Amino acid sequence: MNYNKKSIEDINVAGKRVLCRCDFNVPTKDGKITSDKRIVAALPTIEYLVNQGAKVILCSHMGKPKGEWKPELSLKIVADRLSQLLGKEVIMAADVAGEDSKAKAAALKDGDVMLLENTRYIKGETKNDPELSKALADLADIFVNDAFGTAHRAHSSTAGVADHLPAVCGYLVQKEVGVMGKALAAPERPFVAILGGAKVSDKLNVINNLLEKVDTLIIGGGMAFTFLAAQGYSVGSSLVDNEKLDYCKEMLSKAQAKGVKLLLPVDTVVADGFPSPIDAEIAVSTVDSCAIPEGKMGLDIGEKAREEFAAAAKAAKTVVWNGPMGVFENPVLSAGTKAVAQALADSEAVTIVGGGDSAAACEQLGYADKITHISTGGGASLEFLEGLELPGIACLQDK
């Protein structure tokens, strides 16, 4: 896949109607936005288009209305917040690509901004319905994708519309593709990848793909126990995916054949069971990872593993991290994830964090501004690391 895509700066937008796909899937409570981070992230692209004299038509999904008009998932609250942030009225359309959208799009003046209603109010959106794609394209002259979080979905508003219009990326997508694309295609070495999270099955193809590219692969979190079990070690009552033991053996052999250093935690923080509720007080101890006692469950990496993983990250020139090292929502079991976040923050490498939990850990710990790039798309960044083609990127014009 070619990551060298045309951006908004490579195309003349003055006086043109520009349909811009954003990620306004913001969290809400009682009809109010609880975090406007995604709206703020879209501002540079929107402001550039406005300043260039484009007629800007924004679209996004919110939640999972599944083709039904659910008032609680209306983008009206986004239009209101965006109006405040831009310091100008954002015109709200009453539909997605219907009569109201058409009339309002036709009446736009240069520099005006309007927002279509939730694209997933229309059943055809998630099915990449050609009729909806065409109806959306008919509103505009140019398509801009600035929603990396949905770039792995072949939907009408993320990919289908590009069948009918010249398509380029906005600043958010440009940064994602530029930083992550370079890291995978031509990384500065040593290149270290750190994978965490609970299940091996979630990251099967990511592990396989990264072993082709990295110098060191670090595996922590719940999925480390399937790798340890595959080596014949006792892992107590820790999470093990028995169907993936052979796969883990294959990956261990592949790492050896490729000369890739594969690090698993040498010690593990254990307890009698998973904390319930997740932040409950819990009694823990630390044991060697190769001999976890019966009845004990591994829930975080131990101190020696924290030091080893941090040293590998600090010695790297490029680090990609996806997935926590333990049950980091519990203060007692968050030390491993914190240590990795701290190591990335202290590193002089190009540091890339993808995935909701890893990103949340960096934000909560106040390290976000010390990381080169925190990906805005969990699922999309995982598929990117798998080496898959993302429909919302592939549809854009190459430079």
**pLDDT tens-place values along the chain, 399 residues long:** 667 899 999 999 999 999 999 999 999 999 999 989 899 999 999 999 999 999 999 999 999 999 999 999 999 999 999 999 999 999 999 999 999 999 999 999 999 999 999 999 999 999 999 999 999 999 999 999 999 888 888 999 999 999 999 999 999 999 888 887 777 778 899 999 999 988 778 787 889 989 999 999 999 999 999 999 999 999 999 999 999 999 999 999 999 999 999 999 999 999 999 999 999 999 999 999 999 999 999 999 999 999 999 999 999 999 999 999 999 999 999 999 999 999 999 999 999 998 678 888 888 888 989 999 888 776 777 777 777 788 888 899 998
In the residue annotation, 356 being an active-site residue is answered as yes
Task: Find the catalytic residue in 63, 111, 178, 379.
Answer: 379
Architecture per CATH, 187-386? 3-Layer(aba) Sandwich (3.40)
Residue 142: C-alpha distances to residues 153, 168, 170, 196 (Å):
20, 8, 12, 40
- Judge contact between 78 and 39, C-beta under 8 A: yes
pLDDT at 338: 94
181 is annotated as an active-site residue: no
29 is catalytic: no
- Catalytic residue of the set 6, 127, 182, 199: 199
For domain 8-172, the CATH superfamily is: Phosphoglycerate kinase, N-terminal domain (3.40.50.1260)
Range list for CATH 3.40.50.1260 in the chain: 8-172, 187-386
Let me know if 379 is a catalytic residue: yes
Catalytic residue among 16, 38, 175, 338: 38
* Per annotation, catalytic residue among 356, 370, 378, 387: 356
